Amino acid sequence: MNRSAVPTDRLNISAVILAGGRARRMGGVDKGLALLNGRPLVAWVLERIAPQVDELFISANRNFDQYRLFGHPALPDVSPDFQGPLAGLLRGMTESAHPLILSVPCDTPFLPGDLVGRLSVALEESGADIAIPVCGGQIHRAVCLCRCSLLPGLENFLAQGGRRVGEWQSMLRRVEVPFNDEQAFLNLNTADELTRLGAR
């Protein structure tokens, strides 16, 4: 999308693309660097998200030099034991210069061009802690916009052994934001899915 489609009076927002997982279902290949039609998945996500935010990080735990070539900081988790997507969000919060941060997985190449605008409006109007998209009856928990003031609570959740995104989000004041395009939230978990989509 172009910037004219983004509300000009919105709060400044950071984003973190989550590419720090083990990608077991992708055969251990670094998922963010897996190719869809000749382009790394992370490049597809960057193309969608970068115009919508003011600051962007890539959460990664390997291949840092390759990720830095995309022009944004590549941030490892604070803990080296692959604590999951919440660890990537936590690291993004620690680095964010802004009060809100968007979290998106690296395997969702078709995210909506108005994702940030719609989530931020819902967040501010509701006074919630976190805004989460819902589409086709499915809650897309790994895609969320939340307040960086949640950092201490998230840090404590992880320190106590919490890992599940849904469990952490259930503890927060949250608003679910409806979207209509199910393709926009398609996530790719296996090499076969990448191949089939590329062929289409």
Q: pLDDT tens digit string along 74-94?
A: 999 887 766 789 999 999 999
> Residue 10's pLDDT band (boundaries 50, 70, 90)?
low
Average pLDDT, the chain: 89
Q: pTM of the predicted model, to two decimals?
A: 0.89
pLDDT exceeds 60 at position 17: yes
Q: What is the pLDDT of residue 41?
A: 96
191 compared with 173, residue with greater pLDDT: 173
CB atoms within 10 A of CB 69: 12
Residue 130 lies in a domain: yes
**CATH code where residue 107 lies:** 3.90.550.10
pLDDT at 134 (0 to 100): 97
> Residue 103 pLDDT > 70, yes or no?
yes
Residue 158 domain-assigned? yes
Decide if 1 is inside a domain. Answer: no
Where is average pLDDT lowest: 9-23, 53-67, 129-143? 9-23
Domain count, the chain: 1
Position 24 scores a pLDDT of: 60
The C-alpha atoms of residue 197 and residue 48 are separated, in whole angstroms, by 18
Q: CA-to-CA distance for 142 and 185, rounded, in angstroms?
A: 10
pLDDT at position 5 is 40
Element (H, E) at 13: strand 13-18
The DSSP result for 74-96, as a single string, is EE--SSSS---HHHHHHHHHHH-
Query: How do residues 175-190 score in pLDDT, each as one tens digit?
Result: 999 999 988 999 887 7
Least Cα distance to 191 among 26, 19, 24 occurs for 26
Q: Could you tell me the CA-to-CA distances from 178 to 40, 78, 131, 181 in Å, in that order?
A: 28, 33, 10, 10
Is 3 part of a structural domain of the chain? Answer: no
**At residue 28, does pLDDT exceed 90?**
no
Residue 189, pLDDT score:
76
Place of tokens 């997507």: 85
Range of the domain at 56: 10-199
* Residues contacting residue 114 through CB under 8 Å, at least 6 positions apart: 1, 5
Mean pLDDT calculated for residue range 151-157: 96
Cα–Cα dist 91/75, whole Å? 7
